[in-house]
């Protein structure tokens, strides 16, 4: 009976955390440049966040020879957030659909609107991905790259600039 009660408690705790993430989406997906996305702080050990129900993906998004990397996802009802980990610490967080900065969603806007929200009109680099006809706008100083398709921001990759290795992104 005690084991059953403990199991019920664990399941209710997981459900409660998921409901909190859903109802506090803006807080949970808030971008703090060069620091974090929501509670996930760049440069911290991934083990600290297992309580959020993150799961290791079978396919590593950063499958580069020589890197001890893994990709984790946060299965939410409204969003999948991918966390790229190298040597056990959070290095990149990839988001689609929702990423908030100063109360505004950075995704789903034109690049000009997104630059206005960021109050930063100078990006470090623009790269065209011919295979998908997407553009990547790099804002190294803020630790964020935007994926743009048909002039609309569709996704973002966030990171701590000093942890980011340019040989991964180039």
Domain extents for the chain? 2-163
- Other beta carbons less than 10 A from residue 75's beta carbon: 12
Q: How far apart, in whole angstroms, are the C-alpha atoms of residue 75 and residue 112?
A: 31
Given this model, what pLDDT does residue 115 score? 92
* Residue partners of 144: CB distance under 8 A and separation at least 6: 31, 33, 118, 156, 157, 158, 159
pLDDT, residue 63, reads 58
pLDDT number for residue 62: 57
Predicted local confidence at residue 81, as pLDDT: 83
Check residue 129 and give its pLDDT. 86
Q: Which helix (H) or strand (E) holds 3?
A: helix 2-23
Half-sphere exposure of 55 (CA within 13 A, CB side): 7
Residue 86, pLDDT score: 87
**Parts of the chain with a pLDDT under 70:** 1-26, 59-67, 75-80, 163-170
């Amino acid at each position: 009976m005690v084991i059953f009660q403990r199991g019920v408690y664990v399941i209710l705790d997981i459900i409660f955390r998921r409901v909190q993430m859903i109802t506090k989406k803006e807080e949970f997906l808030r971008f703090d440049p060069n620091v974090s996305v929501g509670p996930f702080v760049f440069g911290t050990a991934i083990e600290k966040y297992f309580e959020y129900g993150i799961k290791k993906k079978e396919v590593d998004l950063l499958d580069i020879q020589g890197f001890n990397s893994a990709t984790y996802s946060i299965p939410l009802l409204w969003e999948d957030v991918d966390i790229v980990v190298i040597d056990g610490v959070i290095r990149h967080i990839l988001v689609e659909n929702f990423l908030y900065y100063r109360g505004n969603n950075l995704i789903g806007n034109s690049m000009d609107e997104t630059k206005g929200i960021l109050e930063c009109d100078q990006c470090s680099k623009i790269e065209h991905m011919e295979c998908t006809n997407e553009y990547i706008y790099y804002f190294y100083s803020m630790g964020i790259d935007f994926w743009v398709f048909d002039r609309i921001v569709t996704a973002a990759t966030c990171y701590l600039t000093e942890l980011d290795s340019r040989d991964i992104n180039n």
